[in-house]
Amino acid sequence: MSTKEFTRAPNHFDARITADGSSPWPVEPGRYRLIVSRACPWASRALVVRRLLGLEHAISVGVADPIQDERSWRFTLDPDGRDPVLGISYLHEAYHAADPAYAGGISVPAIVDIPSGRLVTNDYPTITTDLSTQWRACHRPGAPDLYPEHLREEIDEVNRRVFRDVNNGVYRAGFAGDQEAYADAYHRLFACLDGLSERLEGRRYLVGDTITEADIRLFTTLVRFDAVYHGHFKCNKRKLTEMPVLWAYARDLYQTPGFHDTVDFDHIKRHYYMVHTDINPTRIVPEGPDLTGWLTPHGREALGGRPFGDGTPPGPPPPGEAAPTIEELTAAGR
């Protein structure tokens, strides 16, 4: 193994918000605020889960500017440059309210306790599974079961492989410190994608016949693949559009309510190409790729499956929460 391999830092704040009183943080509608960047794949998981489960009324959301400065995530998209609920200009203020001595990275997603202004958790794997399990009493009528108990062992196993070689694999390639580390990540990434293509060739979803946590975790990497990972992170063996099974699978999910209305290709592109100046020192943002292919028929209904199981699709997102559509971005030249 190369000594210059990219290693993701562990999440320092891993408190749980629980329904049974087993943690200091109880499930309480209206008490917490989910802070995200629409550019970030880890945060996008939480946005999709929140939408599918109908938790918008229970957990508010704040969206950070996709362009960070030296103090990291900032709220310059909001009036006066402050989050309107928390009253802070930078997410690090919530981190330091929880631990004044904290000197690590500032990451999203982050759940903040509104009354105290303290960060509760930035543990992205647990955030989404807890939204499915601990917040069940707050789910909308007809919410799908994204983490069904009888499939959890299989979902967790798929998630481990997808995280190692795909979700984190693209970062291991993009931030590799030498050729050996990059080549290892590159080959493991495409070997895993090939295996996922084989798995999905005859089934609509990764585990079972409904959308689960596993599909959401894979989707947030796939939707960014051609826009940023293929070129920016040198994951250029094939584009997503050149992998027929995964391309159809990703379009199927994108066109499902609760997915496309959380995806902001403008934020995604501007963040990666403008923030990672060690990789892209000119900060030039590519004009492409052509996004309209995401709206074309995918044909995967023929495989059967029930996207929401016995549940129903989510309704429209709350006012002001929907990401810009592909039609809007295309019209604006983005």
Q: What is the pLDDT along the chain (334 residues), one digit of tens a residue?
A: 556 887 777 778 999 999 998 999 999 999 999 999 999 999 999 999 999 999 999 999 999 999 999 889 999 999 999 999 999 999 999 999 999 999 999 999 999 999 999 999 999 999 999 999 999 999 999 999 999 999 999 999 999 999 999 999 999 999 999 999 999 999 999 999 999 999 999 999 999 999 999 999 999 999 999 999 999 999 999 999 999 999 999 999 999 999 999 999 999 999 999 999 999 999 999 999 999 999 999 999 999 999 999 999 999 999 999 999 999 898 877 7
Q: State the pLDDT at residue 2.
A: 56
- Say how far apart CA 66 and CA 96 lie, in whole Å: 21
CATH architecture of 149-331: Up-down Bundle (1.20)
Question: CA 188, 189, 191, 194: dihedral to nearest 10 degrees?
Answer: 170
176-228 confidence digits (pLDDT tens) = 999 999 999 999 999 999 999 999 999 999 999 999 999 999 999 999 999 99
CB 112 within 8 A of CB 3: no
CB crowding 277-293: b at 16 or more within 10 Å, else e: eeebeeeeeeeebebee
Residues annotated as catalytic are 40, 171
Q: What is the pTM of this model?
A: 0.96
Q: State the pLDDT at residue 3.
A: 61
- Say how far apart CA 64 and CA 66 lie, in whole Å: 6
3-state secondary structure of 35: strand
Topology of domain 17-138 in CATH is Glutaredoxin (3.40.30)
Which residue, among 81, 98, 99, has the nearest Cα to 90 in the 3D structure? 81
**Which residues are annotated binding-site positions?**
73
Q: State the pLDDT at residue 183.
A: 98
Same fold, 17-138 and 149-331: no
Q: State the pLDDT at residue 79.
A: 94
- Segments making up each domain of the chain, as ranges: 17-138, 149-331
Q: State the pLDDT at residue 92.
A: 97
33-71 confidence digits (pLDDT tens) = 999 999 999 999 999 999 999 999 999 999 999 999 988
**Which residues are annotated binding-site positions for glutathione?**
73
Residue 264 makes CB contacts below 8 A (sequence gap 6+) with 38, 39, 66, 323, 324
- Say how far apart CA 81 and CA 62 lie, in whole Å: 12
